[in-house]
Structure 1
């Protein structure tokens, strides 16, 4: 494994004790909150592998709830995150799963309210870094280290090219892009990590592209 800097080893500024089990968990929760775009009414968190075995001792439970409350890794409110969620009337449930996952630090988050639901699977890969590997049944690879666009669209010829052309028009450089679909010709999901933040007017233009259903921005 190669590290780009010492911070890949020791992790980000954070409420401890573990970059993988605490900071990574908080970042998984915060990405889920960003995608849901509002505070949920209920949250169900399933832990697998090492997360399942050590989540209480390493504060994985409070960290992931803190992220879901939109707290950053160094926010001292994380320590009281579960109690704060209860005070807000958010129902939080933790489940310990026996299933063997590809990565030992895996969490599945299900959350929702009267307006809708979201399901996300994330892994903490060390040093506070994460990957989101599943969203509402779509397989993807989202690092959370760069600004990103998630574009839900109908699986139709030319849609990817049209989206790419809009980004090229505004000189938005694509660092990573992939497309996932559950079934040919049905709904698909583009995951696009970019090198700079995307302004809201560009999001509206992307939403106007034929066959695009929804555009969600994640800011690093």
Structure 2
């Protein structure tokens, strides 16, 4: 059997040909899209290590763009991601970085529109899996394999307790949680992975908690 392109090899849960360079890259892009919370108007994607060397041949570029369009890793539309991005008015630039990184499959993505922008670092760890290791300068570990919420808040007494109280009220069990801050008393961030999806009514209550600045959910 002869394939017209590498993207004619599509498995049941991920695109080919490489779980690390395509499916993992698509997952990084999708997590970036979900964390941003809306379609970005532009994106600058800095690629490091193996990503920088092979991104065109292995389809890392179209996979990341597909993720930014909120396509799943197995979505056949990924192979036309550049066309869909153009239709959506999304401009994406890829930059090959020569510097080293902690992981060979690393992408630093900057997203933005007229109302704001943000930046994250994602790594593809194999088997179609990925992790977000940095967000707007905060170090974290977010896999996207479980439902999760990201809470930006003022570093004040009671902020963490207020969030966990709401989750307990709706019987939402926490599987993993970490808190990061750049400086005491300034802006901080909670990353909470849960055993089940968080209902919208709980999200609204979280947004109304004292000292909470922003709440974003990530679905598996």
Q: Establish whether TM, by shorter chain, passes 0.5.
A: yes
For 1:200 and 1:84, the matched residues in 2 are separated by 29
By how many angstroms is 1:174 displaced? 0.4
Q: What TM-score do you get using the length of structure 1 for normalisation?
A: 0.92
Q: Which residue of 2 aligns with 1:35?
A: 35
TM-score normalised by structure 2 residue count: 0.92
Partner of 2:8: none
1:51-108 superposed Cα distances (whole Å, 9 cap, x missing partner): 0111111100000000001111111111111132123322111001122111111001
Any unmatched runs of 5+ in structure 2?
Answer: 1-10
Superposed, which structure 2 residues align to 1:37-56 within 5 Å? Answer: 37-56=37-56
Question: 2:125 matched to which residue of 1?
Answer: 125
Aligned equivalent of 2:189: 189
Aligned residue in 2 for 1:8: none
Q: Which residue of structure 2 lines up, in the alignment, with residue 174 of structure 1? A: 174
Inter-partner Cα distance in structure 2 for 1:82 and 1:46: 17
Please show how residues 87-166 of structure 1 align to structure 2 within 5 Å: 87-166=87-166
Offset of residue 161 of structure 1: 1.6
SS of the equivalent of 1:39 reads coil
1:70 is aligned to 70
Unpaired runs of 5+ in structure 1?
A: 1-10
Q: For residue 26 of structure 1, report the CA deviation from its aligned partner.
A: 0.3
Q: Is the 8 A contact 1:12 1:127 kept in 2?
A: no
Flag the 1:182–1:93 CA change in 2: closer, same or farther, 3 A: same
Q: What is the match of residue 211 of structure 1?
A: 211
Give the superposition deviation at 1:209. 1.3
In structure 1, the residue corresponding to 2:112 is in which secondary structure?
A: strand
Aligned to 2:59: 59
Q: Which residue of 1 aligns with 2:199?
A: 199
- The range that moved more, 90-99 or 183-192, is 90-99
- Aligned partners of 2:40, 2:26: CA distance in 1, in Å? 16
Q: How big is the shift at 1:12?
A: 6.7
SS in 2 for 1:183: coil
CA contact under 8 A between 1:106 and 1:124: conserved in structure 2?
Answer: yes
